[in-house]
C-alpha cells in the first residue's frame, strides 16, 4: 500500500515541478495535490493501525504524514491564494525530520537505498524552505527541476520497482541513487533556466512543488 502511495508522490512532485517552472498554475495543480495529500494521510493511518503496536512498522509509516500535510497545504494555497510563508517554514521542519528518517532507515531498517532517498527529500524540502520561507523567488525554476527530477528518481521509479517485486536494496543501488541525485542537484540551475516558461503563472509562492 505504501508503494502505491509512493507512485502518486512521484506524480505530484513532477506536476508541482512543472508548476514551479511556470507551465501549470498553482490553481491548476491544486486538485492533484489535494488528492495525493489525502492519500498520504489515509495510508499511514491505515498502516499504523494495522501495525498493532510494532514500532518498526509504525516508524516506516510515520514519515508519510510529512508529505501528506505538504501536498494538502499546497493544494489549499493553490485554491485560496494564501501566502506560502508558513508552508516554507513547515518545509524546513520536514527537511530536518527527513535526516532523522534517513538515519533510522540506515541503522534500524537497514535500508540503504531509502536512506539516500530520504536525504534527497531533505535537500528538496530545504529548497522549498528557501523558496517560500525566505522568499527567494529567483530559485523557482531550479526548485522546479529538482522537484520534477526527484519525483521520478526518488518516488516514481522506486514505486514501480516495489510494486513489480523488482526492488532489492543494496549498497550499489544506494550509490547509484546518490550519484543520480547529485547530478540532478548540479544540473537543476542550468536546466531551470532553459526549461522555465517565458511568462510563468503568477505567484509560485501560493504553493511549492510539492514533496
User: In whole angstroms, what is the distance from residue 183 CA to residue 193 CA?
Assistant: 16
Residue 76 lies in a domain: yes
Contact 145, 187 (CB under 8 A): yes
Contact 14, 155 (CB under 8 A): no
Total number of domains constituting the chain: 1
Residue 130 lies in a domain: yes
- Alpha carbons within 13 angstroms on the beta-carbon side of residue 25 total 8
Q: How many other CB atoms are there within 10 angstroms of residue 55's CB atom? A: 9
State the residue for C-alpha cell 527529500: 121
pTM (two decimals): 0.91
Name the DSSP letter for residue 202: S
Residue 211 lies in a domain: no
Tens digit of each residue's pLDDT, the chain (211 residues): 678 999 999 999 999 999 999 999 999 999 999 999 999 999 889 889 988 888 888 887 889 999 999 999 999 999 999 999 999 999 999 999 999 999 999 999 899 999 999 999 999 999 999 999 999 999 999 999 999 999 999 999 999 999 999 999 999 999 999 999 999 999 999 999 999 987 645 544 444 444 3
CA angle 156, 121, 165 (to 5 degrees): 35
User: In whole angstroms, what is the distance from residue 159 CA to residue 15 CA?
Assistant: 17
Domain holding 118: CATH number? 1.25.40.600
Alpha helix positions (H), the chain = 2-20, 26-51, 55-62, 64-80, 85-107, 112-128, 140-150, 157-164, 171-195
Write out the residue range of the structural domain in which residue 158 sits: 2-206
Contact 31, 173 (CB under 8 A): no
Residue 102 lies in a domain: yes
Amino acid at each position: 500500500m505504501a508503494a502505491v502511495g509512493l507512485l502518486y508522490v512521484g506524480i505530484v512532485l513532477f506536476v508541482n515541478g512543472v508548476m514551479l517552472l511556470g507551465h501549470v498554475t498553482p490553481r491548476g495543480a491544486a486538485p492533484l495535490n489535494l488528492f495525493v495529500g489525502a492519500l498520504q494521510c489515509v495510508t499511514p493511518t491505515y498502516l499504523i493501525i494495522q501495525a498493532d503496536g510494532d514500532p518498526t512498522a509504525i516508524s516506516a509509516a510515520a514519515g508519510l504524514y510529512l508529505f501528506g500535510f505538504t501536498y494538502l497545504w499546497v493544494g489549499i494555497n493553490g485554491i485560496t491564494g494564501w501566502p506560502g510563508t508558513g508552508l516554507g517554514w513547515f518545509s524546513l521542519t520536514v527537511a530536518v525530520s527527513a535526516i532523522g528518517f534517513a538515519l533510522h532507515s540506515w541503522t534500524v531498517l537497514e535500508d540503504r537505498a531509502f536512506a539516500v532517498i530520504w536525504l534527497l527529500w531533505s535537500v528538496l524540502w530545504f529548497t522549498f524552505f528557501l523558496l517560500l520561507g525566505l522568499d527567494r523567488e529567483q530559485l523557482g525554476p531550479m526548485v522546479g527541476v529538482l522537484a520534477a527530477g526527484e519525483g521520478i528518481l526518488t518516488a516514481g521509479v522506486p514505486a514501480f520497482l516495489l510494486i513489480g517485486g523488482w526492488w532489492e536494496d543494496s549498497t550499489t543501488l544506494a550509490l547509484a541513487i546518490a550519484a543520480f541525485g547529485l547530478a540532478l542537484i548540479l544540473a537543476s540551475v542550468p536546466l531551470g533556466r532553459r526549461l522555465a516558461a517565458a511568462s510563468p503563472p503568477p505567484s509560485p509562492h501560493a504553493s511549492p512543488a510539492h514533496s
